[in-house]
Amino acid sequence: MIKKILFSILFLFSFIGFSQNTAVLKGKIIDKNTSIPLESATIYIKSAKDSTLIDYTISDKNGNFSIKTKKTDFGILFKVSYIGYNEYSEKIEKITNDKDFGSIKLEENVSSLKEVVIKSEAPPVTIKNDTLEFNASSFKVRPDANVEALLKQLPGVEIDEEGKITVNGKEVNNILVNGKPFFGKDGKIATQNLPAEIIDKVQVVDTKTKEEELSGQNATSDEKTINLTIQEDKNKGLFGKANVGYGTDERYESSMLFNYFKDTQKISVLGSSNNVNSIGFSMDEIFDNMGGGRNSSIWVNDNGSFGVNGMQFGGNTGITQSNMIGINFADEWAKKKINPNGSYYYSNAETNNNSRTNRINLLPTGNTNTLAESTTKSTTDGHNISMDFEIKLDSTATIYMNPSFSKNEIKNKNSGFDRTFDEFGAALNENSTNNNWTSQNNTFRNDIYFYKSFKKKGRGISASLNNENSKNDSDLFTKTTTTFFQSGSSSDVRDQFRVDASKNDSFRAEMGYNEPLKDSLSLNFKAVYRYKKTTDTRATYDFDSGLNLYSSFNDLLSNSIISSTSSVTPMIGINIRKKNFRGNISMGTEIINFNNQSDYLSNKTTVNKNYMYPKMNGYLSITLGKSKSIYSYYSYEVNLPLANQILPFENLGNPLNTIIGNADLKPNENYSIYTNFNNYDYATRSGFYGYMGGDYNVNEIVASTTYDSDFKATTTYQNVDRAYNTYIGFNYNKSLKKEKRTFKYGFGMQLRYNYNQGLTNAELFESKGLTFNPRVNLTWSIDEFITINPSYRYTYITNDFTNYVIDNTKNFKHSAKLEITSYWPKKVVIGSDFGYNYNSNIADGFQKDFYLWNLSLGYNFFQDKLLAKVKVYDVLNQNVSATRTITPTAITDMENTVLQQYAMFSLTYKLEKFGGKKNDENGLIFMD
């Protein structure tokens, strides 16, 4: 049925989008003097009457172009733009038939100091070296649209259901405003709150580390950075939004974000408060801050949580009431020699959740079944300060500093009950808990980087120092009763007060030197020193009923662990940098000193190890065209065991699981490889992105658990021979635009295979898993009228086992949704989001499928500065949170408290007060 609906929609949209009343404009762009074809020249047509952009394309590698446009009886401007060349412009009175321009010859723009330089109009898209630049005014969005809406209009830019942005298939991991972070590099605050109308350019570049940026090296990563530049006249003023709403079941929301820009100085303040599981300042024009407003709850991770800049909020797990306030500051001082940037957040959240779990424990001796219920209330308070300074000592030397400090307090109350049965229904054990836990954590981080270049191009020295120092103190009042039914063992009853103290200190220092051998070849030498020390102390006190105090020290449940790791890694690398080819390979030796000590029952246990391993990584990037490339990455690294995994003492803290370390553990060796092929054709506005990769692990560290007749566990750790996972996938998208109508479609697939070994009751087993995940999405829109966006995702998971209690598990999921947004009649905004989820293998008693339908009706008034809105969340009152997790040791079904049906009325106020004059909407400036 779904396939028929999607096919009908595709056929209908295709019929509407392509009529016979079209003409084709084609030709070839060449250099006037050499007749060499010019690839990636921008060809665009505009209305001669009002300069409205009608269509555009990009020349291919042979200089050819083709624009299919509607026949017109009015004048148009035909333009060609290419970096370093004079603009070509021609007025066409009307388009009634196909037109072949033949070879259009562009002349180089050669100017001297005495000549007048004419600033030409900016084309919609410009490709310049490693920078892809979009002229924001060439892409029409609604007057009240945010930056995210603008990004969705740009060719090659995709934003998926989880908010991840990709450009030509490559993930964007850094978003800047005028070259600086805006409330952190996460970027979601900028894209979801800044108005699109203030943006001048959207620039896309390779993401570089600070070292690569200051030294002028190529980026080693395959990720992208987006830089949003503000229009010059909008760079002086105050703008922002404020929202407040109240609804049924005492649901409420409020948020605000105001920005003050004055040349280089920028100050932004945000705040929010709500009890609808929202991050609080994602001001979507349809659903404001409504939790799951765009059906996002369908696409959240298994735990349902989400966050920004390291701060976590609720989602599918419980209902969260959150409050936040933050400020961001950026400026340039001392004639641009010092560039400070910083932000401060205060966040507070309270989450309440009831959960129930049905877990099948897979054992060679026969399955057991655990049923559990729990109630949790958790509150968090957090302060987060982050700064960065870039100080230019002179034209050759720069220091960069990035200090940050966070302080968090967590209070958690939890009560629960669970019982485990054998496969015949006989009870093995039951356990009840009542915990009251408080934790305080302080963390300080700092990155300092220094770079100095010399007269010879490419020669330079660098030094960096990174540190992270954290301290965590927690108190736990716990009452537990554990009853064993099979062995006749007496019940384990505990009423205790536990104090845990943890301290972590890590430092990293690096010295580097780069020596150019040729213009395209250089050697890199560096030495890295790392040091890490962790101290964990636990003191447990039993309740003394006579004194009515927790005063009896329990040495069986008290211990201390100290672990330190130091390593020295000298490395040498070779870098190659050519026009269409760049890469690096680095090799060295890692010398590791690993020391661990535990103090338990007055006995000190020491495990000290020394290791020497090779270290290697490298990448290769090949540019096949302006928008076609291949990227590959390889690395080899060693991961050491944790202190509690390698120290051979008994940890009796859990009455149902005793943990004993293994001093003979070997480090895990990881081999990782990744490659992709990327091709986006601007001429046809279609993109293909294919990728494959995997990880291979030697001496994988796994838990080895044995159970007694009461299903009481004893766990230690072992090395297994190997484990690996591989994956392959692709994405394809295409955009068709005719006047005000836009049709986009995309589809993709990922296939993942993994192999694991494990131990249960000391028996080795093998697990082979296969995951198949195809998806498709469509978007059809008419500017300022309607947008329709259906999407569908299918997930199939199968696991085969060898030497195990079961041979196979299978599971599949359907996830579909339909988003509709209407801007008709004028000043009215209507949003409808309908989602459907189905999980084939949810256990009896848990709901296998659910529908989530959200509605919104808004009206703009008071010169569009005010927006009144009525929203209904979960119209059908169907929302549930039932998940199934399959691992080699258990199949777990879990259901948590979720946000359910409510209605809300909200009011949003928009403020804009700029100091400069507004540009004429068609006055576009382009600078080489």
pLDDT, tens only, 855-884: 999 999 998 889 999 999 999 998 877 777
C-alpha to C-alpha distance for 180 and 189, rounded to whole angstroms: 13
C-alpha to C-alpha distance for 400 and 45, rounded to whole angstroms: 45
Pick from 780, 881, 793, 797: nearest CA to 160: 793
Residue 139's pLDDT is what?
84
C-alpha to C-alpha distance for 540 and 553, rounded to whole angstroms: 6
272, 258 contact by CB (below 8 A): no
Computed over its alpha carbons, how large is the radius of gyration of the chain?
A: 31
Residue 120's pLDDT is what?
59
Strand segments (E) across 195-264: 199-206, 224-230, 236-247, 252-262
Helix locations, 351-507, DSSP H = none
In degrees, to the nearest 5, what angle opens at C-alpha 198 toward C-alphas 391 and 306?
Answer: 75
Pick from 239, 235, 265: nearest CA to 916: 235
811, 841 contact by CB (below 8 A): yes
Coil, strand, or helix at residue 59?
Answer: coil
103, 28 contact by CB (below 8 A): yes
Which residues face 728 on adjacent strands? Answer: 692, 751
Measured CA distances, 334 to 337, 391, 517, 710 (Å)? 5, 10, 37, 72
484, 710 contact by CB (below 8 A): yes
And the tokens for 900?
Answer: 């359910």
Pick from 140, 131, 294: nearest CA to 227: 131
Measured CA distances, 20 to 57, 68, 69, 71, 92 (Å)? 20, 11, 10, 10, 21
452, 461 contact by CB (below 8 A): yes
Residue 196 is classified by DSSP as G
Phi and psi based region of residue 249 (left: phi greater than 0; alpha: psi -120 to 50; beta: remaining): left
And the tokens for 204?
Answer: 């896309």
Whole-model pTM: value is: 0.82
Q: Which 3-state string (H, E, C) describes 214-232?
A: HHCCCCCCCCEEEEEEECH
Please spell the DSSP secondary structure of 496-553, one letter per residue: EEEEEEEEEEEEEEEEEEEEEEETTEEEEEEEEEEEEEEEEEEEEEEEETTTTEEEEE
C-alpha to C-alpha distance for 399 and 401, rounded to whole angstroms: 7
Tell how many helices (H) and how many strands (E) occur in the chain.
5, 48
Measured CA distances, 907 to 117, 257, 271, 285 (Å)? 49, 15, 16, 12
The sign of the torsion formed by the CA atoms of 842, 163, 56, 75 equals positive
Residue 52's pLDDT is what?
72
Please spell the DSSP secondary structure of 660-682, one letter per residue: E--TTPPPEEEEEEEEEEEEEET
Pairing of strands 319-330, 902-914: unpaired
Measured CA distances, 478 to 205, 350, 414, 901 (Å)? 53, 21, 10, 36
C-alpha to C-alpha distance for 557 and 498, rounded to whole angstroms: 9
Q: Which 3-state string (H, E, C) describes 125-157?
A: EEEECCEEEEEHHHCCCCCCCEHHHHHHHCCCE
C-alpha to C-alpha distance for 904 and 48, rounded to whole angstroms: 47
For the segment 502-526, what is each residue's pLDDT rounded down to a tens digit? 999 999 999 999 999 988 899 999 9
C-alpha to C-alpha distance for 360 and 362, rounded to whole angstroms: 6
Residue 122 is classified by DSSP as P
C-alpha to C-alpha distance for 196 and 830, rounded to whole angstroms: 20
Pick from 906, 861, 911, 865: nearest CA to 240: 911
C-alpha to C-alpha distance for 725 and 750, rounded to whole angstroms: 13
Mean pLDDT by 10 residues, the chain (928 residues): 44 44 90 91 85 81 87 88 90 90 89 46 79 87 83 84 80 87 74 85 90 81 90 84 93 91 88 83 62 45 37 59 91 83 90 92 83 94 91 92 94 95 91 96 96 90 96 96 88 94 97 91 95 96 93 92 97 91 95 95 92 96 84 95 90 84 95 94 84 96 88 91 95 84 92 92 88 94 90 93 81 92 92 90 76 93 92 90 77 88 93 61 33
C-alpha to C-alpha distance for 88 and 272, rounded to whole angstroms: 51
